[in-house]
Copies of this chain bind each other. A is one copy, B any other.
C-alpha cells in the first residue's frame, strides 16, 4: 500500500491542523474504481455533518438491496449502530462486512470507521435534542435522572437571572466598603445563615476581620460595637426577617456602612441598607422551597463580593490566601490519593 502511513507520516504536532496523510498529497491514485469519490483529500465530498438520514434517502435508489438494508439500519438507529463493529452491523443487517464498508463509502466516508464516528456524533446530537420537560416543576413521581436535570437547570437559570439583575453600582460600592472596612459583621438566619458563614469564611481567608451571626441577640450585641468604616451585611431572602433587620438597623444607627442582600429590595430591610444587592427569586414549588434557589443566588452574590474585594486588596489577599491554604495542608491525610 503506497498510502503508507497516515499515522507514521504524521510526524507530530503539525497534525493538529490538517490530517497527516492528505496534506502530503496522495502519492498515486492507484486506487481504481470508486472514482476516488470517497477520499476526503481528493473530492469535495463533505463527511456529512448531521444530515445523514437525508443522504440515505437521496442515495437509496442507487443502492443495491443489501446496501439499503445497511443504510436503513444506520439511519433509523444511529446510536445502536455506532456501538456495533463492522461485523456486528453486518450480522444485524444480515449482510457481510464488505457490504457495510461499501455502504459507508457510498455515503461519503472513507470507510466504516469514519461513518461510525459520525454516527456517534449524530447520536449525541439527537440525545441533546430531547429535553423538553426539564423546565417543568419537579413532580413527586419524577425519576431521579429527571430530578437531577431539573434541579441543575433551575439553578443555572437562577444564576443567570442573578447575574443579569445585579446592580453593578451597588456591587461596586459594597466592594469598596468591604475592602476598606475595619471589621465586618454578617447577619443571617436559617438558610441565609449558612451563606453568611460562607462569606465570613472567605473574608477571613483574605485577612479581613469578619464575623457571622445567626443568634439575633448576639448579633445586636455586636452591632452596637460597630462604627463608621465598619460594615454590616444582612442576608435575607424575604427582606423582612426581623432577626436580621434588627442588627442591621443598630449597625446603621451607629454609623456603619450597611449592605443588604435580599430577594426583595423593596422590603423593610432596605430601609437600613446603604447598598442593596438583589438576589433573584425563582418560582417555587412544593418540593422545592424558595429557600433552595435563593441560596444559590445569594451565594453567587457573595462570591462576587469576595472576588471583588480580593481584587482590590490583592496585595494582602494573595499571601493570606496561600497562608490559609498552607495551614490546612496537613489536615489532609497523607497516604491519600497518590497523585
A contacts, CB < 8 Å to B? 6-20, 49-50, 61-64, 77, 80, 82-85, 87-88, 91-92, 116-118, 120-125, 127-128, 138, 140-142, 144-145, 147-149, 151-152, 155-156, 159-160, 162-163, 166, 168, 171-172, 175, 189-191, 194, 197-198, 201, 205, 216, 238-243, 245-246, 249, 264, 266-268, 286-289, 292, 295-296, 299-300, 303-304, 307-308, 310-311, 314, 318, 321, 325, 328-339
Query: Is B321 in contact with A307, judged by CB distance below 8 angstroms?
Result: no
- Cross-interface CB contact of A11 among B300, B325, B332, cutoff 8 Å: B332
Q: Which residues of B contact A335 (CB under 8 A)?
A: 14-18, 268
Q: Which residues of B contact A138 (CB under 8 A)?
A: 307
- Cross-interface CB contact of A190 among B249, B295, B310, B328, cutoff 8 Å: B328
Query: Is A325 in contact with B289, judged by CB distance below 8 angstroms?
Result: yes
A163 to B62, CA, bound (A): 34
The count of identical subunits is 2
Kindly provide the distance from the CB of A58 to the nearest chain B CB, expressed in whole angstroms.
11
Query: Is A15 in contact with B91, judged by CB distance below 8 angstroms?
Result: yes
Query: Is B144 in contact with A87, judged by CB distance below 8 angstroms?
Result: no
Q: Which residues of B contact A122 (CB under 8 A)?
A: 124
A328 to B7, CA, bound (A): 11
Q: Which residues of B contact A296 (CB under 8 A)?
A: 296, 299
A191 to B303, CA, bound (A): 13
Q: Which residues of B contact A123 (CB under 8 A)?
A: 121
Query: Is A152 in contact with B162, judged by CB distance below 8 angstroms?
Result: yes
Kindly provide the distance from the CB of A302 to the nearest chain B CB, expressed in whole angstroms.
10
Query: Is A336 in contact with B140, judged by CB distance below 8 angstroms?
Result: no
Q: Which residues of B contact A286 (CB under 8 A)?
A: 318, 321
A183 to B122, CA, bound (A): 47
- Cross-interface CB contact of A337 among B85, B268, B332, cutoff 8 Å: B268
Query: Is B339 in contact with A63, judged by CB distance below 8 angstroms?
Result: yes
Kindly provide the distance from the CB of A154 to the nearest chain B CB, expressed in whole angstroms.
9
Query: Is A10 in contact with B159, judged by CB distance below 8 angstroms?
Result: no
- Cross-interface CB contact of A163 among B152, B287, B336, cutoff 8 Å: B152
Q: Which residues of B contact A329 (CB under 8 A)?
A: 9-10
- Cross-interface CB contact of A338 among B62, B159, B190, B328, cutoff 8 Å: B62
Given contacts A152-B163, A162-B152, A331-B243, contact A50 B124 (CB under 8 A): yes
A178 to B311, CA, bound (A): 42
A295 to B299, CA, bound (A): 10
Q: Which residues of B contact A245 (CB under 8 A)?
A: 333, 337
- Cross-interface CB contact of A268 among B149, B159, B334, cutoff 8 Å: B334
A120 to B304, CA, bound (A): 30
Interface-centre pick from A116, A118, A159 (highest chain B CB count, 10 A): A159
Query: Is B287 in contact with A307, judged by CB distance below 8 angstroms?
Result: yes
